[in-house]
Structures are given as structure tokens and as C-alpha cells.
Structure 1
Amino acid sequence: MTKCIRCQVDVADNHLNCPLCGIKLRESIKDTHVSYPEYPQIAKRKKLLVKVWTFVTISIIVFSLAINALTWKVKPIGWSPILSIAVFYIWFLGQDLYQKFNINLVAKTLWNNYLILTVFFLIVDNVTGYGKWSLNFVIPFLGIATGFIMTLWSVKNKSMWRDDIGYILLILGVNVLPFILFLLKAVDVLWPSIASLLYGVMTVVGIFIFSGRRLLYELQKRFHF
């Protein structure tokens, strides 16, 4: 029932106007406009494109491995692992930027990028005769560049202590690895390993100087000591 404000009588709900005075009681159903949010078709398209991109990437990798294996007797060069890692790297970088870019995941993306490029250059070095250029030069300077970009991003966006401290310490630990490989005689050239080690040490020293208490608090919170 709807009450007419003029006549003060109750009127059945099937009436749009008061039968006594004719005043409009409520809006017509046709006049009522109900707006619904539009369905995000763009998100659906993005998911479809990412799936197509993934399928094409897997197809290229499978066919390259098969062709390389079938033509090995004719041309014994292992080019398919290089192509596979390169295609996978393009897929990883593309889908990460295209599907959903979150500023809080930049450190994780940089870390994954470091790992993929490390594996890629190791495979290229091994396939092309293993001249140890990947261990001597690429990996130390790749670690320095990744750590430097990660630190700059975290300081600029003030996310070092909130999100990125674990990744920063992880990549700084990786910068010690080339020097350990040199001690194990897996690396022939010393100065890139020393540069990587010095970068890691000086960055840790700088973090302690500028925010030692905060770093200790964050480490205690994360590692429970």
C-alpha cells in the first residue's frame, strides 16, 4: 500500500496515481532507470590474449626443440635451448607488464628477471663452447644492476621496509656469489667478482648507517629472532 500525502488515504500498489485527487504516487516502472555497472569486457579480452600468447610461446618452444633434435645429425648445434629461454623470457616479461602491473611487485619482477637472464646467459655460454664469460662478467654485473635498480625503486617509492627488504637482501647476497665462485676456481677473472662483492657490502653498510634500527626491527619481524 502507498499513502497519498494529500488525501491521507492508503492506495493499492497497482495504482500509480491517487484515485481521489490524481496526484502521482510513485514513478512508473518505465520511467524508473536502474543503472548496472558495465561488465568488464576488457579484462576478458586480456585473459584471452594472455592464453593465446602462452599457447604460441609453448608451441614455439616445442617445435624448436623437435626441429633441433631431428636435424642434430645434419647440424649439431644446440640452438633450441637458447631460443626457448629467449621466447620464455619475452613471454614472462610481456604477460607480467600486460596483464597486471602492480608497483608493489616490482622487486619480485626484478628478481625473477635476474634469475631468467642468469639461466639464459649460462645456456648461451655453454652452447657456444663455455668460455666462462657468463660467470666472469655477465652474472656479477647483472647482480649489481638488478640490486641498484631495486634499491633505487624502493627508496623512491618508500617501499623498502614495507615490501622489498627481503628481495633487496636476497639480491645483495647473490652479489657475494661470484667471489665465492672465484674461490672455488669456477671463475677466472677476479675484478668483476670483487666489484660485485664491494657493491653488496657497501649497500648493506649504507642501509645500516641510514636506517639501522629500522632494518633490525624489520629483520626481527620477518625472521623471528
Structure 2
Amino acid sequence: MVKIKICGLRRYQDIDYVNELKVDYAGFVFAKSTRRVDLRLAESLVARLDKCIKKVGVFVNQSKEFIKEVCSALGLDVIQLHGDENPDDVAEYAAWGVEVWKAVRVKDQDVLMYAGKYPVDGILLDAAVHGIYGGTGQTFDWNLLDGVSFSKKIILAGGLNPQNVCLAIAKIKPYAVDVSSGVETNGFKDYYKMKEFVERVRNCEKHTR
């Protein structure tokens, strides 16, 4: 079954929502963003999180020292690197005992081919928007993935919402889908949109078996 990640959690009610919906991954953004959390807030949010839900820290061009501090303090399950890291930059993280996902901003097939060089557990595919590292709410051309295969987990992001997620799953067959703005209203997580997204993913999975 396709895993579900809800990203950009920053309120106690957000945690209550994901706990009730029993998603697979909860994402906490530490990079510059309207959804950014500091370590103190993240610690209190994680303390409220269901232990069955894996914790993902999202970072953009931040120091390894800072990432290690957050990873240790929160007991992260996944480090998601959304910056300008090259394959050599990410090799060290594998020794930390956590999964590593590298986000790539898809603009052409060359980007996809290069993504395979990263020594990571998962490749997160996001839309390429100039000057923005993620969270744009825009999709990319899924047809670029035609004929491209990866030996790593594929996490699909970029403009997903309850209306298009089943089509995305049917076409790309990712390991997981990642949503943030697609389940928000006025910049905040919306329980009903989250619930609809989760139900759509689980129901479309049943129909495509």
C-alpha cells in the first residue's frame, strides 16, 4: 500500500489530525518557510505524535551539525534533504542510523537520471520552481517519468491534493505520496481535506489492486 506523508505540521491540532488519520509519516520543516518550526516547538509536537507514525525532518542547506542536533533531539526516522546537496554531500548521513531522502526538483529527464546517483534510501520528486526549494503546491510533468526507473523508494510530492492523488498513484506507482499545501485552507492544515486525501489514497489503492 502506498504510504502517506503529511508535511508542514506546526500546531497541536495538526498532530491530533495525523494521529486520528493514522498516516505513515509526519513532516516537520526546519528550513525557511511559513511552515517552519523551531526545535523547542518540534519537541512538544513530537511528544504528542503517535509512536507508530514516523518522524521526518525537512532541511534546506543547513549545517550537518544542526541536522544532527535535530535528529538526536527528536529521534527522527527520516532526514529529508531539500537543498543543493550533491551525491558526495549526503553519504555521511547514512551512518546516523536514519533513512535519508533526497528531494529533487524535476524540470527534465536529466534531473531524474542524476537523482539516481544519490546514495540515499528515497528520492522525493517535487516541482521545479525558480528560487523556491519546495512547498510550492505545483505539480510537475509526470510524463517525464515515462521510461525512467529507480532502485530507490520514490516519494511523490508537488501539488498533490485529494482530486489528483489517485491519478498520480496510478501513473507513477510511488512508494509514498507527500502532501502539504494540498490539504490546507488559508495556510493551515484542514482536517477535512486531510481526511479526504487519506481516504482517497487508501480507496484508490483498493480499486487498482
TM-score by length of 1: 0.22
Question: Which structure dedicates a bigger proportion of its chain to helix?
Answer: 1
Question: Which structure dedicates a bigger proportion of its chain to strand?
Answer: 2
TM-score by length of 2: 0.24
Q: Rg: which structure is higher?
A: 1
Bigger relative contact order (CA 8 A; separation at least 6):
2
